Chains A and B, each alone.
Chain A
Amino acid sequence: MTQETPLWEVFIRPRNGLSHRHCGSVHAADEVLALQAARDVYTRRGEGLSIWVVRSDQITASDPQTKDETFEPTASKIYRHPTFYEIPDEVGNM
């Protein structure tokens, strides 16, 4: 079953100007049926204007084993957060 219908990750863009967001996955035999399945499973309440599907085995993921070296070094660099700076009033909302 899963050999014939591999897993696909589904990304939905809810509105113009926003980016596609991962919302789940579907099983499907190929990309055309994966798009249809994504439409039927994830856009039933008017959630989407655009759908991307990509085969799950085509995604390269970071290794959970290396999460310390990958992510921890940024924890001490609070000055990278925009809230660190005072924003002049003239700039308005950022």
Chain B
Amino acid sequence: MDERAALFELLLRLGDDCLILGHRVSEWCGHAPILEEDLAMPNMGLDLIGQARSLYAYAGEIEGKGRGEDDLAYLRSDREYRNLLLVERPNGDFAHTMLRQLYFAAFMEPYWREMAKSTDATLAGIAGKAVKEMAYHIRHAGEWVIRMGDGTEESARRMADAVEELTIYTDEMFQTDAVTDTLSAAGIAPDPSTLRAEWERTIDMVFTEAKLTLPKYQYPQIGGRAGLHGEEFGHLLSDLQYMQRTYPGMTW
């Protein structure tokens, strides 16, 4: 596969993961269970949206067709988004949101750490900043998963439900294809499949304390990388894109 085309595709995938999860987390703003989390969750959302901006800006540059970060974020249709299904899952309750955050950050932290060694200086720079943000997301979400999993009867039940529902979406993070193979061979981006052991170690550490077990499943849910999203995704986009679709070119 052509390296430049692969790089553009990868930047869209990563940018979409960050934007969509950042948007989901931002939906808690004003609705969090406690004031402290009402600030903590938008903080995490802004980390992710910041990463998305850098990735989209670079994607636009690599594509070379004059599209900028706003065009890529706001003016694509659902089938053109390449994010993981995990990150678009609805927030559910606080247990679902924290588990989703832990699952994603436990993957992205080692991913960005490897990416910091990339032969591509721009990607290495984005990674160097993002890795610290993801380390904090693991800590923040991990501590909550521990307290809910090993908390009251109700919190433990909610946490177990979240594990049951979300774990089938984690496999997609580690999948490889022509895009990841081309870029890992060129030393531009890490091979996601090599990060599974570290992800499992992180989750295992949290789950042991949280008295949770990682379920085995037969059929992973995949499709986001090919633009096949869940039915909730269209509603997410209608929220996210409303202003640009209604008032094209609007700035503020």
Against A, the Cβ 8 Å flags (1 = close, 0 = not) of B190-218 are 00000000000000000000000000000
Contact B143 A33 (CB under 8 A): yes
Q: Decide yes or no whether B147 CB sits under 8 A from chain A.
A: yes
- Nearest-Cβ distance from residue B159 to partner chain A, whole angstroms: 15
CB distance from B29 to the nearest CB of A (A): 13
Q: Interface residues of B toward A: which range?
A: 10 to 19
Tell yes or no: B34 within 8 A of A by CB.
yes
* Stretch of B16-24, B36-44, B49-57 lying at the A interface: B36-44
Residues of A within 8 A of B39 (CB): 40-41, 44
Q: Taking the complex as formed, is B245 at the interface, i.e. its CB lies under 8 A from any CB of chain A?
A: no
Chain A residues contacting B158 (CB-CB under 8 Å) are none
List, in ascending order, chain A residues with CB within 8 A of B147's CB: 29-30, 33
Query: Smallest Cβ distance from A18 to chain B, in angstroms?
Result: 24
Q: B144 to chain A: which residues have CB within 8 Å? A: 33
Interface positions of A from 1 to 50, Cβ below 8 Å from B: 5, 26-30, 32-33, 36-37, 40-41, 44
A16 to B40 Cα, complex, angstroms: 26
Q: How far apart sit A8 and B36, CA to CA, in the bound complex (Å)?
A: 12
Establish whether residues A36 and B143, one from each chain, have CB atoms under 8 Å apart when the complex forms.
Answer: yes
Give complex CA distance A88, B73 in Å: 66
> Chain B binding site: helix, strand, loop or mixed by DSSP?
helix
Instruction: Report the number of A-B residue pairs with Cβ-Cβ less than 8 Å.
Output: 30
Instruction: Report B-chain residues with C-beta under 8 Å of the C-beta of A26.
Output: 36
Query: Number of residues in A with C-beta < 8 Å to the partner?
Result: 13
- A36 pairs with B34, CB closer than 8 A: no
Inside 8 A of A28's CB, which chain B residues have their CB? 36
A9 to B83 Cα, complex, angstroms: 41
User: Smallest Cβ distance from A83 to chain B, in angstroms?
Assistant: 42
Instruction: Report yes or no: A36 in contact with B43, Cβ–Cβ below 8 A.
Output: no
Would you call A37 and B43 a contact (CB within 8 A)? Answer: no
| Cβ of B140 under 8 Å from chain A | yes
Given contacts A33-B143, A36-B140, contact A27 B43 (CB under 8 A): no
Are the C-beta atoms of B143 and A27 separated by less than 8 Å?
A: no
Nearest residue, chain A, Cβ from B140: A36
| Residues of chain B lying within 8 A (CB to CB) of residue A5 | 34
Complex CA distance for A41 and B42, rounded to whole angstroms:
11
**For the complex, what is the distance from the CA of A44 to the CA of B140, rounded to whole Å?**
15
Beta-carbon nearest neighbor of A44 in chain B: B43
